[in-house]
Every structure is written in C-alpha cells, then in structure tokens.
Amino acid sequence: MDKFIVEGGHKLSGNVTISGAKNAALAIIPSVLLAQGTFRFSNIPNIRDIWTLSRLLHSMGIHSELNNDELFVDSTGINSTEAPYEHVKKMRASINVLGPLVARHGHAKVSLPGGCSFGPRPVDLHLKGLEKLGATITLDSGYILAESKRLQGAKFHFDISSVGASENVISAAVLAKGSSLLTNVAVEPEVTALCKLLVKMGAKINGIGTTTLEIEGVDTLHAVDEVNIPDRIEAATFLIIGAMTKSTITVEKTNAYHLTAVIQALEESGAEVDVTGENITISMDKAPEPVNVATAVYPGFPTDVQAQWAAYMMMTQHGNSRVTDNIYKSRFLYVPELHRLGADIEVIDNTAIINSGATLKAATVMSSDLRASASLILAALVAEGKTEILRVYHLDRGYENLEKKLSNLGASVKRIKTEEY
C-alpha cells in the first residue's frame, strides 16, 4: 500500500486540469448493459474505481479498454449477469449494474455491497424501486437475486433522495413496458448525465434535471459515444487547496454551475473566486473567516466536500466553524487523523466543531476513505514538516494523478511505492 510524503508550507501557483467525474462515469458506464454494441466514453478518469468497474464488466464477458481518457466498451460478448462479491466489495457503485441487467437480461445476481468506513449505506430504495417495476427480488447468502420477464412501468416515490437508487431505477424504467413516474429523484449532475446518455441511446425521459421524471419505456436502446462531465468534487478539492495554502491557482476544464454552494462558501471565507468559462481561479492571501456549512442533496453543499472544508477551517484565526453532515451522519473518521496533525476539532453528533488557531505539525496519518484522505492531504500541505499519509489507495480510487497535479502546482508530494517500505 503506497504512501505519500507531503512537505507543508509551500505556496502554490499555476493551473490544474480537472479530470472527468468519477461518480458520473460510474453512473453512465453500466448503461452498456442496456444495449448491444461498442460505446466510446470520453473524459473518463484513469482511477482505481474505473479499473474495478472494468474488471467487473470483464467478468461478465464485456471487453473494455481505456486509452488516455477514452474508454471503449464492447457489450456484445456478455455471458454472465452476475456481479460477484470480490468486485462489489471493492466498490459499492458496482450495484449500478443491477437495474440494467434485470431490465435487459431479465435476471441479475449482484452481491450486496458491504458497509463502508463512514457507516451503513443501505440499498433498500434500489430494491423497492425495482420491485415496483415488477422485478422479483430475493436476498440469498449476501446476494441480491432479481428476476423479471419484462419490467412494467410504474409510479415510484423515493422516500430519501438517493443518487445510486435513482440511477438504478431510471436505468431499469427506460426498458420497462409502459410509462413510469418517478418522484423525489436525485438531481445531482451525475444523475442528469445518466439521463442525457440514456436519451441519446434512444430512451424517452421527460423532466431531466428535476426531481420528477416521466419515462416512456422502449423496446431497445443502441450504443453511443458520450463525453463525461468534469469532476465537481475534484474541482472543489483543488479550489480549497488554493485557498488553504494562501495561493492563486486556476482549475481548468470544470463546470462552475456544479459548484455554486462551494464557491459561495469560499467567497464567504474571504477567498476571491473568478469564473471564466470552464476555468475557475481562486486567490487567497490571508487566514479564512470561519464559515459554517451543512451538507445537503444537490445543489446543496456536497457531503463529498465536508472533510476538505473541515480541514480548511483549521486555518481560521478567530472563532470556530461547524461542519454538519446531514447525508452521512458519521462521516468524520478523518477527525482523529487531523488531531494527530494538531487540529482542534470536536465531533458532536453529525457536526464537527473546528476551533481556530491550530498549529499544524507533521505526523504519520492513515487514510480511511476517499474524501477523508483528501482532507489529510490538505492538512499536510500546510503542516510544518513532512507528513506521511498511509494507504493512499483510497485516494487513488477517486483522484487521478493527484501527486503529479499537486507537484505541478509547486507542492512537495512524493509517492513511496509499497515495495520501497
């Protein structure tokens, strides 16, 4: 398991190109199961989660190849409708194959995803939605078995706004017989990206981008080429890095419309943010003002950015800041690691209270999940001395060439390969 050595205290400058969105890629790529043929997805990040999904598709007889940022997938060879535990345990989003499999192939055997480091992540809405469309769902020895001769259009209301459940149910409804009315659908950009891809493939979906979708089922869909959207979480992470290191940096190839809550919070903290087309420049030359954030479904402040925000608020010089996670109540595993670097943070229920005036000193810290690991990188970039961050494979799941991108901005980040220690 590789580690990073990060030497803090460097001012950063320059530009960084944002990669394609991990969570949009994990939403659109399973659509290859809905049609026969070769797909070309562009702006796909070269990250661990994409390799995991490719391996899962390969285990189903589907060949894929990633050349630079283009992923070619040929779905004609499919010879299995099973998603075994060995793949699902590495990435919960593997469950996104469930809806397409049962919709087009009439059956699926998908391992129940385990928990994750920030608490239980149920899939009841995925299953309830597919059952409403007529699938027979049974659970057997850790697997979800879904059967259906032909799904039937239906009305379904999501009790909780769920990105993954919305993606699975939408992907199934597009091939159901008759029309479906889905309400309280998640409106994250990744869900919208999936809907746009499905329409390109021949699906009939009205209300894209809203919480109410009317879907007219069709008999067949066809393979297409698609360009993936930029990663709003990576963009947010680099913007916060710019503010936290009191630098001026520009993030390129991103979409500011996906980042309004984060940009507003950064401006409230005293940073200057300038949006020009696909580029966002952030400039900061002083300690941030305390700014409280509470995560919410899109377009609210993203839960995937709360750990990074908590790290940034350690730089305040007066008062305190509160970071509340309303999506995942216990997504604070990064806090004890930040304590090791000298943070003064207390977690009460689903709120981290960050006191100002912390003096951050290098230490050895451990990544626990993708976004928590990002907060450790942020802290290490400003801590005095050289911080060791262990288990960076968590970062490799969602950030492409992170150490290269940071080094190009002037940071001192070295990756030590496992065999070297």
Interface residues with ligand EPZ (CB under 6 A)? 22-23, 26, 92-93, 121-126, 160, 162-165, 186, 190, 303-304, 327-328, 370-371, 398
Nearest to 306 by CA among 339, 329, 284: 329
> CB-based contacts of 189: which residues, under 8 Å, 6+ apart?
21, 24, 229, 232, 255, 258, 298
Tell the smallest beta-carbon distance from residue 23 to ligand EPZ (Å). Answer: 3
Q: Which one, 74 or 190, has the nearer CB to ligand EPZ?
A: 190
Between CA 337 and CA 364 the distance in angstroms is 9
Q: Which one, 316 or 350, has the nearer CB to ligand EPZ?
A: 350
Tell the smallest beta-carbon distance from residue 161 to ligand EPZ (Å). Answer: 7
Is 195 noted as a catalytic residue in this protein?
no
> CB-based contacts of 419: which residues, under 8 Å, 6+ apart?
none
Tell me how long the chain is.
421
Tell the smallest beta-carbon distance from residue 399 to ligand EPZ (Å). Answer: 10
Nearest to 301 by CA among 353, 265, 337, 251: 265
Catalytic residue among 66, 78, 116, 353: 116
Q: Which one, 55 or 121, has the nearer CB to ligand EPZ?
A: 121
Q: Which one, 12 or 33, has the nearer CB to ligand EPZ?
A: 33
Tell the smallest beta-carbon distance from residue 154 to ligand EPZ (Å). Answer: 17
Q: Which one, 206 or 326, has the nearer CB to ligand EPZ?
A: 326
Question: Could you say which DSSP state residue 188 is in?
Answer: -
Helix H or strand E encompassing 415: strand 412-416
Closest residue to ligand EPZ: CB criterion: 164
Radius of gyration for the alpha carbons in the chain, expressed in angstroms and rounded: 21
Tell the smallest beta-carbon distance from residue 396 to ligand EPZ (Å). Answer: 13
Q: What is the DSSP string of 48-104?
A: HHHHHHHHHHHHTT-EEEEETTEEEEEGGG----EE-HHHHTT-GGGGGGHHHHHHH
Residues serving a catalytic function are 116
